[in-house]
């Protein structure tokens, strides 16, 4: 963007003709937007698919330079006529691709957090979506604003404010959520023993289901069912963890719990879905909710801040949300009923 400002101020492309200024804008805005999109993608990405995006974006910019070179060769000047709109179409297509990739990764990250963490997801869904929406609006308008100097006076500052909001938002989120790469690193370590554990479970499951007829249970269903011995072991481990007040740790997630208990993450997930008919996040929320009600009864003088902190809730607002969902009232109103 600094290069763009230097070119426009020193050579006066925009002052000479708006179409000429638009050509320079596109040539500079495309790599600027692409680099920014890649930065967002790196924040959101839950897998190593960055090389594909880098190659696609590089190919798009190469096509842009080819169109620019062809237009300049044909017209003999920066006033390229129809070639300007071809460049604009490529620019717009590149932005749509980048936005599409970011949305995909954002949804994957949200799903990962919902699976792994047990904290309130509203900060993620509210502020992350709001900041990206502002950026997407700016990106959608820029291809049209490039052709008009007056509109850039409005879109430019709006885009800078949206960028600032995005940066502040994700810096703040970084202090509240375990980074995706750290989760994935732990998951890779967890999966090193997954094959051995699954093989053992499958063998035991086959023994447990040997008395059942083949048409009634498929091999695929059998391999997905936890054997009774593992169910009992996991239930006992979770009961001991709750008895030791492990739920007070507001930073706990599926991976840290699986490492602490020595149980594979896949097994934990299967246990919650098959035996509890729920997810880790909902199960832990229920444990904390019951602990909060018990503490409120035993310690009526405790404030809601103390209750939420002692029971592992990430914030007082999350405690209020749980009570609203399960009791239909606030914690204060619930106390008054007791």
The pLDDT of 37-60, averaged and rounded, is 79
Nearest CA among 108, 96, 80 for reference residue 22: 80
pLDDT of residue 138: 80
Q: Is 117 helix (H, G, I), strand (E, B) or coil?
A: strand
Q: Interhelix angle for 149-174 vs 18-44, to 10°?
A: 10
The pLDDT of 121-128, averaged and rounded, is 67
Nearest CA among 191, 176, 168, 194 for reference residue 113: 176
Residue range 148-169, pLDDT digits in tens: 767 777 877 887 788 777 777 7
Rounded Cα distance, 77 and 79, in Å: 5
Q: Give the number of other CB atoms < 10 A from CB of residue 292.
A: 23
SS3 of 231-274:
HHHHHHHHHHHHHCCHHHCCCCEHHHHHHHHCCCHHHHHHHHHH
Is the pLDDT score of 239 beyond 50? yes
Decide if 298 contacts 309 (C-beta within 8 A): no
Rounded Cα distance, 128 and 165, in Å: 10
Nearest CA among 284, 245, 240 for reference residue 262: 240
Maximum average pLDDT range among 64-78, 96-110, 130-144: 64-78
Is the pLDDT score of 173 beyond 50? yes
Is the pLDDT score of 18 beyond 50? yes
Is the pLDDT score of 211 beyond 50? no
Q: Interhelix angle for 2-11 vs 18-44, to 10°?
A: 170
Rounded Cα distance, 195 and 264, in Å: 10
pLDDT of residue 217: 38
pLDDT of residue 114: 66
Rounded Cα distance, 305 and 106, in Å: 31
H helix and E strand count, the chain: 18, 0
For the entire predicted model, the pTM comes to 0.59
* Residue in the block written with tokens 């994935």: 184
pLDDT of residue 240: 92
Residues in the chain, how many?
A: 338
Phi-psi domain of 114 (left: phi exceeds 0; alpha: psi -120 through 50; beta: other) = alpha
Residue range 86-122, pLDDT digits in tens: 998 898 898 888 888 888 887 777 776 666 666 666 6
Read off φ and ψ for residue 253, nearest 5 degrees: -140, 180
E strand segments, the chain? none
């Amino acid at each position: 963007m600094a290069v763009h400002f230097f070119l426009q101020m020193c050579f006066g492309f925009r002052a000479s003709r708006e179409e000429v200024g638009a050509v320079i804008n596109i040539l500079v805005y495309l790599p600027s937007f692409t680099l920014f999109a890649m930065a967002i993608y790196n924040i959101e990405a839950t897998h190593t698919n960055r090389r594909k995006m880098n190659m696609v974006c590089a190919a798009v910019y190469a096509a842009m330079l080819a169109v620019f070179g062809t237009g300049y060769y044909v017209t003999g000047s920066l006033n390229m006529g129809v070639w300007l709109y071809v460049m604009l179409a490529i620019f717009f297509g590149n932005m749509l691709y980048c936005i599409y990739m970011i949305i995909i990764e954002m949804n994957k990250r949200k799903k990962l957090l919902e699976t792994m963490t047990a904290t309130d997801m509203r900060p993620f869904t509210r502020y992350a979506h709001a900041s990206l929406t502002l950026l997407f609006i700016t990106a959608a308008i820029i291809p049209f604003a490039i052709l008009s100097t007056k509109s850039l006076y409005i879109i430019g500052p709006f885009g800078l404010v949206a960028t600032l909001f995005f940066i502040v938002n994700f810096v703040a989120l970084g202090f509240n959520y375990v980074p995706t790469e750290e989760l994935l690193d732990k998951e890779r370590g967890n999966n090193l023993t997954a094959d051995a554990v699954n093989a053992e479970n499958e063998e035991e499951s086959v023994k447990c289901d040997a008395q059942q007829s083949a048409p009634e249970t498929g091999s695929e269903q059998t391999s997905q069912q936890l054997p009774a011995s593992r169910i009992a072991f996991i239930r006992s481990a979770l009961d001991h963890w709750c008895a030791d007040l492990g739920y007070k740790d507001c930073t706990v997630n599926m991976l840290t719990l699986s490492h602490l208990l020595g149980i594979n993450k896949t097994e934990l997930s299967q246990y919650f879905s098959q035996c509890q008919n729920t997810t880790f996040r909902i199960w832990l929320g229920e444990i904390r909710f019951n602990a909060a009600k018990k503490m409120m009864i035993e310690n009526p003088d405790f404030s809601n801040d103390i209750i939420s902190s002692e029971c592992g809730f990430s914030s007082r607002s999350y405690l209020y949300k749980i009570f609203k969902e399960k009791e239909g009232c606030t914690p204060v109103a619930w106390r008054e009923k007791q």
